[in-house]
Amino acid sequence: MKKIINCPENVVNDMIEGIVKAHPEYIKRLEGFDVLVRAKKPCDSKVALVSGGGSGHEPAHGGFVGEGMLDGAVAGEVFTSPTPDQVFEAVKAVDNGKGVLLIIKNYTGDVMNFQMAGELAEAEGIKVDSVVINDDVALENSTWTTGRRGIAGTVFVHKIAGAAAEKGMELEEVKRIATKVNDNVRSMGMSLSPCTVPAAGKPGFTLEEDEMEVGLGIHGEPGTHKEKVKTADKITKDLMDKIFDDIEIKSEDEVAVLVNGLGGTPLMELYIVNNEVQKILEEKGVKSYKTVVGNFMTSLEMTGFSITILKLDDELKELLDYKADTPAYKQF
């Protein structure tokens, strides 16, 4: 195993310290916990958003703490859910009196621990609600989930629900918006190589030199199948076909696109993928309203990408365009 770390047991702590020192104007660490919160609480009382999950997906989730997105992010060990007490402390730290929305990716540990933390917070008089993100069209059930997995589509939920909260909407409305995004977003990914969890010291799965894994999860969970490596255009078409088979998007509809790198894929290749995504949308008569390309929800050093398509209406477009300013996402 070759990694630029000190020791496997300290990777999360060292990473969090490094993030805070890089972005002190945006975030600070909650003392004693693997929790990042806004460096300055919003001046106005607003619904607070908390998300998180296992580390190894950076810049998710700490990179999205800031104006117009998250108020707090909780980091578990690599590919491991944060504990309920960590989430509970995050909720208490960010609550402004108008309630807290937990944005949870659909993994068994995350769902259980975040919801347990919500119950602890409610017992202390904090109003808490949650939404579980399940945008992955690859599998109905997987190694770590009942139902679909939550992957890169979560970023659009952070952005749009974050805007709703920033605009002063009440908790019920912010949850409605987050649920609406989840209902209209679909993602699917692929990989050319595995990744290595530092504590494990070896890759989580194997691929032959001429193989790729289609539909895998962001922790390296098995996808739908392995097959021979294809051209970028053919891979992209296969993923887009699967997405369009799962959600009705008609000619003249507008969508937002996220082409997301898994950590080890050059931007050159992500832009090649996006080129084909845009061609496919144009052929279908679908309008690409906004496109984001880059590393937003990674899997350590995995080589691969995912495509996320969000079907928009006027309400979602307005919130997608709303100002956001975080370490990993800036929009003015």
Strands, E assignment, 203-303:
211-214, 225-228, 254-261, 287-294
**Domains parsed from the chain with CATH numbers:** 12-183 (3.40.50.10440), 185-324 (3.30.1180.20)
CA distance 173 to 141: 29
- The closest alpha carbon to 132, from 143, 151, 119, belongs to 151
**Tens place of pLDDT for every residue, the chain, 332 residues?**
899 999 999 999 999 999 999 999 999 999 999 999 999 988 889 999 999 999 999 999 999 999 999 999 999 999 999 999 999 999 999 999 999 999 999 999 999 999 999 999 999 999 999 999 999 999 887 777 789 999 999 999 999 999 999 999 999 999 999 999 999 999 999 999 999 999 999 998 999 999 999 999 999 998 999 999 999 999 999 999 999 999 999 999 999 999 999 999 999 999 999 999 999 999 999 999 999 999 999 999 999 999 999 999 999 999 999 999 999 999 87
Determine which one of 23, 61, 158, 219 is catalytic.
219
How many whole angstroms separate alpha carbon 280 and alpha carbon 191? 21
pLDDT of residue 1: 84
Answer whether 0.85 is exceeded by the pTM. Answer: yes
- Cβ-contact 327, 282 below 8 angstroms: no
- Among candidate residues 23, 57, 61, 158, the one labeled active-site is 57
Specify whether 225 is catalytic: no
Structure tokens at 74: 């909780």
- Which pLDDT score is estimated for 310? 98
pLDDT at 103: 98
Given this model, what pLDDT does residue 36 score?
Answer: 98
Distance, CA of 123 to CA of 207 (rounded, Å): 48
Q: How far is CA 280 from CA 23, 155, 258, in A?
A: 38, 23, 14
Catalytic annotation present for 57: yes
* Alpha-carbon span 178 to 161, nearest angstrom: 5
